[in-house]
Chains A and B, each alone.
Chain A
Amino acid sequence: MPDDKDKENYILFKLVGTTYGIKSDDVSQMEMVEHITPVPNAPDFVEGLVFLRGEVIPAINLRARFGFEKIEYDIKTRIIIVQKGERKVGLIVDNAREFVAIPGEVIKPPPETISGLSGQYLQGVATMGDRLILILNIEKVLNFTNIKTSV
């Protein structure tokens, strides 16, 4: 099915009322926030470390990473474990409960006006009916070197 080949599966999550999309292939697993071990001298957006399936994974508060205010964790809070190459990072988001297939023609590059500082984290913007989904550029999100140097 050619239709199926054009489509890609995305995990949709919500952050500060906005729906973001992340490729299902980049996501290894999802968990509820149960226990995070804080890391000393870590940057503000790094919540600490989580222990999952025998692995120690750093957990990043995506709100803090995107410059938003932090909120308390609740039953809907999720950690999305993202894998790019050897690197595994946990992204703490407000909510994540959808698994959708988005056709490639729907995804469009982000507008020039927001392509500045925030635009570097976005791969594109997908529209599905009324819904507007921001597709994350995971590599940029997981690029810590800039962040580390900045820290």
Chain B
Amino acid sequence: MAASIEQITANMVSLTSSINETSSSITETSSSIKNVADVTQEMVTSATQVTTSINEIANSIRHVSTETDSLVTSINDTASTIDEMAQSIKSVAENAENLASAAEETSSSINEMAASIEEVSATSENLAALVEQISATIEQTVHSVQGVSTSAEKISESASSSASASMQLDRSIRSIANLAKTADEITNRATKDAQEGASTIEKSIKALLKIKETMKQSSTVIRDMGKRSSEIGSIVNTINLIAERTNLLSLNASIEAARAGEAGRGFAVVAEEIRNLAERAAKATSDIASIIKTFQEVTQEAVTTTNEGLKIAEEGSTLAEDAGKSLKKILLGIEDVAQLVNQISTATNEQLTAGQNLVNEASITATQAKQIANATSEQSKAVYGMVQISGQMRKIAQQVSQAMAEQAKASRNIIKAAQNTNNYAASVSRATKEQADGANQIARVMESMKKSTTIISKAISEQATAGEQVSREALRLARLIENINRAMSEQANAANQIDKAAENMKRQADQITKAMSEQSRAMKDTSFAIDNIIKQIKLITGGNIKQSELTTKISELILDIRRFFEKDVEIVHDSEKIISNLIEKVKSLDILWKKGQSKLG
């Protein structure tokens, strides 16, 4: 487009230059017409040339006349075309101005758009960073939620195990309470039994002491009995000895009686009776001895037994005393135990209520922990969803930032292009202004040309009629010029004469000039005009050709410009679309962001 605009400006410059050239050509035309006048004056000076030239002029005037008619029409056409061109240039200028303003607006809007795109890009980068942060936070949240989930599961397990443990605790506390009750009863019974035992032991201690005393007494009695029995034994020995001696005596008496024969017969009987008595006495004493022996053995056994019994009684009394002491200690211990059991039963009663509360609390905790575990598993699911969403968000943000970068690049390019367009439009507007000015000038010129051409055409028609006369005069002039030519050819032979004649001719020509000036006051104007016209026409036709070429080029360029503008418009539409898409994506991002925040919150 820039190139086309450059072309346009170049063309416009060339157009203006051509227009300038046209104007300068027109001025040149006027000068050339002046030159023509000079030439005519010169021609006038050269009479021969003048006649031919007059003929030619006449012819040319005729020709010019016809040409002028066609010129007039063509000038009219040209004028109208130039008007149209001027109008079109004006409209082009207006359009160029509009274009410029539109381009400015477009560039400003593009700037705004670029700025907004930059902002959006920056915002989307921030958004991408935020999304990264969010995704990182969400990943941390995932970790923490997973940790919370596992810990919640563990809590749930431990809560359920603690619930079951507290149930077991409750059961064991109940059994302990029952045991404490039974222990209380048992200790009460044991206290009673111990008290009874203590009293029994005291009684038995007293009885044992009595037994001890009795045993002592009986042992002394038995010892006395032993003594007596040994005394009896000695007596028995004495009796036994007496019995033995009596037996011995009776035997000796029997021996003596036998020796005495018949005289000692009665004595022998007595001796035998004595021996029998002694024998009986010995037997009795031996019986007594055996009885006393057994009695002594029995008393000895009784003594040892009583001694042992005494020992046992002493030991029993000491043992009973020890038992009494230990029973007293046991009683004290049992009282302590009873107190402790009472404390335990009260404590177990308190524990029972506390354990019931614990069971309730533990069951509540278990259900809560289960709920927490479920909630955390749901949270982890949701967080996984959030992770997926944040991944999508990340992708979208990356895509958005990429698109925004591309857009920013494109918008920068657009800005550059718009600036270029702006510059080009400004230059175009400038050029078109200049063109318009030039066209206006041309139009004015053309107006004046029109007026002058109408005047000219009138003059030319007058000239035509006069030209007829002139031509007739020119014929005559031609003849004269032929004559002059002849004279000139004659004169050519003698150049010096010619010079002189020329000087004469000069003078004559001056005269002719004066005459011609008189004659062709209109001629001057005419020829001047004609020359001008011719040159101008030539120039105009050239310029027109150039202009038509240029205008076609301009129109093409304008079409190009329009195309470029259409492309701009399309680009702008695309960017609008992109922007609307961006807006939608940003809105969806905002919605996602809000969702994420609400879920995070």
B-contacting residues of A (Cβ < 8 Å)?
9, 11, 24-25, 27-32, 75-76, 78, 96-97, 99
Contact status B255-A30, CB under 8 Å = yes
Q: B254 at interface (Cβ–Cβ under 8 A)? A: yes
Q: Check A78/B255 contact, CB under 8 A, given A97-B279, A99-B272, A99-B275.
A: no
Contact status B251-A32, CB under 8 Å = no
Query: Contacts of B254 on A, CB cut-off 8 Å?
Result: 9, 24, 99
Which residue in chain B gives the minimum CB-CB distance to A29? Answer: B252
Point out which of A11, A24, A97, A99 has the most chain B C-beta atoms below 10 A from its C-beta: A99
Given contacts A30-B251, A75-B244, A99-B254, list 20 more A-B pairs with CB under 8 A.
A9-B258, A11-B251, A11-B255, A24-B255, A28-B255, A29-B255, A30-B252, A30-B255, A31-B248, A32-B244, A32-B245, A32-B248, A75-B240, A76-B244, A96-B251, A97-B251, A97-B275, A97-B279, A99-B251, A99-B272
Point out which of B240, B241, B247, B275 has the most chain A C-beta atoms below 10 A from its C-beta: B247
Which residue in chain A gives the minimum CB-CB distance to B265? Answer: A4
21 A–B contacts from the bound complex (CB under 8 Å):
A9-B254, A9-B258, A11-B251, A11-B255, A24-B255, A25-B259, A27-B255, A29-B255, A30-B251, A30-B252, A30-B255, A31-B248, A32-B244, A32-B248, A75-B241, A76-B244, A78-B248, A97-B279, A99-B250, A99-B255, A99-B275
Query: Contacts of A27 on B, CB cut-off 8 Å?
Result: 255
User: DSSP majority for the B interface?
Assistant: helix
Query: Contacts of A75 on B, CB cut-off 8 Å?
Result: 240-241, 244
Contact with A along B56-85 (1 / 0, CB 8 A): 000000000000000000000000000000
Query: Contacts of B251 on A, CB cut-off 8 Å?
Result: 11, 30, 96-97, 99
Give the Cβ gap from B546 to chain A, nearest Cβ, in Å. 197
Contact with A along B246-268 (1 / 0, CB 8 A): 01101110110011000000000
Query: Contacts of A76 on B, CB cut-off 8 Å?
Result: 244
Give the Cβ gap from A82 to chain B, nearest Cβ, in Å. 12
Query: Contacts of B244 on A, CB cut-off 8 Å?
Result: 32, 75-76
Which residue in chain B gives the minimum CB-CB distance to A8? Answer: B258
Q: Check A30/B248 contact, CB under 8 A, given A24-B254, A24-B255, A99-B254.
A: yes
CA distance A28 to B255 in the complex (A): 7
Query: Contacts of A96 on B, CB cut-off 8 Å?
Result: 251
Give the Cβ gap from A88 to chain B, nearest Cβ, in Å. 14
Interface size class of B (residues with CB under 8 A): 10 to 19
CA distance A29 to B250 in the complex (A): 11
Which residue in chain A gives the minimum CB-CB distance to B275? Answer: A99
Kindly list the 7 A-B residue pairs having the minimum CB-CB distance in the complex, ordered from nearest.
Answer: A99-B254, A9-B258, A24-B258, A97-B247, A99-B251, A24-B255, A75-B244
Point out which of B251, B272, B275, B279 has the most chain A C-beta atoms below 10 A from its C-beta: B251
Point out which of A31, A76, A97 has the most chain B C-beta atoms below 10 A from its C-beta: A97
CA distance A9 to B258 in the complex (A): 8
CA distance A31 to B252 in the complex (A): 9
CA distance A32 to B258 in the complex (A): 21
Query: Contacts of A24 on B, CB cut-off 8 Å?
Result: 254-255, 258
Give the Cβ gap from B309 to chain A, nearest Cβ, in Å. 38
Query: Contacts of A31 on B, CB cut-off 8 Å?
Result: 248
Contact with A along B229-253 (1 / 0, CB 8 A): 0000000000011001101101110
CA distance A75 to B236 in the complex (A): 13
Q: Check A25/B258 contact, CB under 8 A, given A75-B240, A97-B279.
A: yes
Give the Cβ gap from A124 to chain B, nearest Cβ, in Å. 20
Give the Cβ gap from B257 to chain A, nearest Cβ, in Å. 9
CA distance A115 to B553 in the complex (A): 203
Give the Cβ gap from A144 to chain B, nearest Cβ, in Å. 24
CA distance A24 to B264 in the complex (A): 14
Query: Contacts of A11 on B, CB cut-off 8 Å?
Result: 251, 255
Point out which of B241, B255, B259, B271 has the most chain A C-beta atoms below 10 A from its C-beta: B255
Which residue in chain B gives the minimum CB-CB distance to A9? Answer: B258
Query: Contacts of A78 on B, CB cut-off 8 Å?
Result: 248
CA distance A125 to B259 in the complex (A): 24
CA distance A102 to B259 in the complex (A): 16
Give the Cβ gap from A140 to chain B, nearest Cβ, in Å. 22
Which residue in chain B gives the minimum CB-CB distance to A32? Answer: B248
CA distance A28 to B251 in the complex (A): 11
CA distance A27 to B258 in the complex (A): 11
Which residue in chain B gives the minimum CB-CB distance to A96? Answer: B251
Give the Cβ gap from A41 to chain B, nearest Cβ, in Å. 32
CA distance A76 to B247 in the complex (A): 10
CA distance A107 to B115 in the complex (A): 181
Give the Cβ gap from A115 to chain B, nearest Cβ, in Å. 30
CA distance A112 to B48 in the complex (A): 249
CA distance A142 to B369 in the complex (A): 132
CA distance A78 to B247 in the complex (A): 11
CA distance A12 to B255 in the complex (A): 12
Give the Cβ gap from A94 to chain B, nearest Cβ, in Å. 13
